Chains A and B, each alone.
Chain A
Amino acid sequence: MNVVVLTKWVPEPEGTPTIGDDGLLVRDGADGALDPGDEYGLEAALQLVETAGEGEVTLISMGPEVAHAALQRGLAMGAHKGVRITDDGLRGADALVTAKVLAAAIQMQEFDLVIGGVESTDGYTGTVPAAIAELLGIPSLTFARGFHVSDDTITIERQTAAGYDSVISPLPAVVTVTSGATEPRYPSLKGVMAAKSKPVETLAVSDLGLSAEDVAATQTVTSVSDAPPKQGGAVVEFDETTPARIADLLAEAKVI
């Protein structure tokens, strides 16, 4: 059982990101981490390989050099090796470019399954895994909140607005795992030490057989402006008059 896990470095999720003059998120030199949304899928991959008793978990990440931190975290959790695609030509890469680059890197690996998060915590696009599946010519099973692999098939519980669907598919396939689907393990000290000696391959766009034209962004930011701020109202400490005050607001809105 060989599993590729898509991992993304994102600016510190609890922090306030900075937007550069070009309208793009500032990534170089920023504090960041492995996207918390990726850890659930990585945990799923580790469990599947452990259950199978053979195979490897390979992390693939596209990003600037700081993205190395995300790979290190994943390797410390237990992934076997990493691939990082770093190239100045990928600055401002959109969903199409990202899918092409990741699919090309995946094709250089042996895999039964590609696992990703449902969407990234910084971009929230959520279409890249399906696009990768289309490029690879394999099924995509998105929004898995539970999963089970047996022989050559995978069955997932696919989250829906009303509940969930049971979906079955042959392997290989691309699966996206929802937040909360697994309980990501915390890297042990031993894991952190071992991660430092695990192999990480660094690739440029040309190493993937793609041209500069293939990875040219198909959309550009034309302007970034401040949204009109919503005016906050009163902030009060709770006391015995507060319930009536909230109820007055509800009555004013004619909902009670």
Chain B
Amino acid sequence: MTKVWVWADVTPDGPAPSALELLTKARDLGDDVAAVALGPGAKDAASALGEHGASTVFASDDEVFANHLAQPPTAALAGLVEEHAPDLILFPSSYEARDVAGRLQIRTGSTLMANATDVLDAEHARTEILGGTKIVDVELKGPSPKLVLVRPQSFAPEPSGGTADVVEVLADVPNELKTAERMERHEEAASGPRLESAKVVVAGGRGLGGPDAFAQLDQLAAAIGNAAVGASRAAVDAGWVPYSYQIGQTGKTVKPEVYVCAGISGALQHMVGMKGAKRIVAITKDPDAPILQIADLGVVGDLFQVVPALTEEIEKRRTGS
């Protein structure tokens, strides 16, 4: 019997999409699938986790797991692993999960693979490197559980119609593990649809030359409607837009119907985050930009001409004039 576990990120708003994606895959990989959900919202999330394939949800709503970074959840997960001996644990590539997986690896002596794009069985996983141009299969050896961190949106979530037994996880975390403490959470204002679920993503990069040019992308996104604005790492590192805009290896993975980018050359690190788009339109002044090799329509020109002209064309069609 193969035991496959999924680390489920949860909040009081519900389970993260990644938890449902990973559980859907876990059903193919094992005959005993469980989820581990720690922190406020865990027990409420259990029904959705069960519906997507977890027959057991190890859960605790205790705030200690949300208020302190990494160490309390690692200790609880390590305790569960010791008791139940899973063969494989799938983690999302989230901030919290990366820290927990990295720490758990030391406790269990297990191998850990990051950035997986597919999991073949309990001992083999797949990743893509060099911006998705090479597929690498990896054999995971050594003591169980094997730990695999999976890239976002690698699997489409599908309900199985199951239900889960909830097993309470004790929150008896020793004081010496309650170190790094969250004092405050700050949310930065975001408008429009979420990048990850928008039908159209309009993204800007280094070629924009500064923060002001993003207003032109906002106008284009507004003309299209249901479009979100994103950015390459270069634009984020330059401080033109906040990190929440970032698309790529470090940042968000988007799979919109149409991806329109301006002033982005197509560094490997960026392409990983957007190559799953159904259609790609790239506007760049560099005729040799790598992004043109994967664009369905590449436009070589000055983005400060192309973007306003496109916005105008779309508005014209909308008003029928």
Contact A232 B301 (CB under 8 A): no
Q: How far is the CB of A88 from chain B (nearest CB, A)?
A: 20
Indicate which residue in A126, A166, A178, A232 contacts B295 across the interface (CB closer than 8 Å): A232
**CB-defined contacts of B105 to chain A, threshold 8 Å:** 95-96, 99, 127, 131, 134
Q: How far is the CB of A126 from chain B (nearest CB, A)?
A: 5
Contact B130 A17 (CB under 8 A): yes
**CB-defined contacts of A245 to chain B, threshold 8 Å:** 297
Secondary structure at the B interface, as helix, strand, loop or mixed, is mixed
Q: Which residue of A lies closest to B278 (CB)?
A: A253
Contact A127 B295 (CB under 8 A): no
Whether B302 sits at the interface, judged by CB under 8 Å, is: yes
**CB-defined contacts of A168 to chain B, threshold 8 Å:** 180-181, 183
Indicate which residue in B179, B238, B299, B310 contacts A139 across the interface (CB closer than 8 Å): B179
Interface residues of A, CB < 8 Å — how many?
79
Interface 9-mer from B38-46, B67-75, B164-172 = B67-75
Contact B124 A222 (CB under 8 A): yes
Q: Which residue of B lies closest to A128 (CB)?
A: B102
Complex Cα gap A166–B279 (Å): 39
Complex Cα gap A249–B256 (Å): 14
18 A-B Cβ contacts within 8 A?
A96-B111, A99-B105, A125-B114, A131-B105, A134-B107, A142-B69, A167-B180, A169-B180, A170-B179, A220-B139, A222-B124, A227-B132, A230-B275, A232-B298, A242-B309, A243-B312, A249-B296, A251-B317
Q: Which residue of B lies closest to A127 (CB)?
A: B102
Contact B135 A227 (CB under 8 A): yes
Q: Mark contacts of A212-256 with chain B using CB atoms, 8 A cut-off: 1 yes-contact digit, 0 otherwise.
A: 000000111111111101101111111000111111011101111
Complex Cα gap A94–B134 (Å): 19
Complex Cα gap A121–B224 (Å): 34
Q: Which residue of A lies closest to B140 (CB)?
A: A219
Interface 9-mer from B52-60, B185-193, B206-214 = B185-193
Q: Which residue of A lies closest to B305 (CB)?
A: A238
Contact A236 B299 (CB under 8 A): yes
Contact A162 B103 (CB under 8 A): no
Q: Mark contacts of A161-178 with chain B using CB atoms, 8 A cut-off: 1 yes-contact digit, 0 otherwise.
A: 111111111100100001
Whether A62 sits at the interface, judged by CB under 8 Å, is: no
Whether A26 sits at the interface, judged by CB under 8 Å, is: no
Complex Cα gap A95–B233 (Å): 24
Contact A167 B69 (CB under 8 A): yes
Indicate which residue in A222, A226, A246 contacts B133 across the interface (CB closer than 8 Å): A226
**CB-defined contacts of A2 to chain B, threshold 8 Å:** none
**CB-defined contacts of B101 to chain A, threshold 8 Å:** 127, 130
- Which residues of A in the span 78-92 have a Cβ within 8 Å of any Cβ on B? none
Contact A145 B138 (CB under 8 A): no
Indicate which residue in B109, B200, B298 contacts A233 across the interface (CB closer than 8 Å): B298
Complex Cα gap A129–B101 (Å): 11
- Which residues of B in the span 139-163 have a Cβ within 8 Å of any Cβ on A? 139-142, 149
Given A169-B180, A250-B258: A134 and B134 interface contact (C-beta under 8 Å): no
Contact B258 A255 (CB under 8 A): yes
- Which residues of A in the span 98-129 have a Cβ within 8 Å of any Cβ on B? 99, 118-119, 121, 124-129
Contact B181 A180 (CB under 8 A): no
**CB-defined contacts of B305 to chain A, threshold 8 Å:** 238
Complex Cα gap A162–B281 (Å): 27
Whether B293 sits at the interface, judged by CB under 8 Å, is: yes
Whether B306 sits at the interface, judged by CB under 8 Å, is: yes
Contact A95 B306 (CB under 8 A): no
Whether B85 sits at the interface, judged by CB under 8 Å, is: no
Complex Cα gap A234–B310 (Å): 17
Q: How far is the CB of A51 from chain B (nearest CB, A)?
A: 22
Indicate which residue in B179, B306, B314 contacts A238 across the interface (CB closer than 8 Å): B306
Whether B199 sits at the interface, judged by CB under 8 Å, is: yes
Q: Mark contacts of B104-148 with chain A using CB atoms, 8 A cut-off: 1 yes-contact digit, 0 otherwise.
A: 011101111111000000001000111011111111111000000
Complex Cα gap A139–B177 (Å): 8
Max chain A C-beta neighbours (<10 A), residue from B98, B115, B236 = B98
Given A218-B111, A222-B138: A162 and B187 interface contact (C-beta under 8 Å): yes
Q: How far is the CB of B297 from chain A (nearest CB, A)?
A: 6
Whether A143 sits at the interface, judged by CB under 8 Å, is: yes
Q: Which residue of A lies closest to B99 (CB)?
A: A130
Contact A139 B71 (CB under 8 A): yes
For the complex of A and B, 10 pairs with smallest distance between CB atoms: A238-B301, A130-B102, A127-B102, A218-B111, A235-B298, A243-B313, A139-B179, A163-B188, A169-B180, A218-B142
Contact B74 A179 (CB under 8 A): no
Whether A197 sits at the interface, judged by CB under 8 Å, is: no
Indicate which residue in B69, B103, B139, B199 contacts A134 across the interface (CB closer than 8 Å): B103
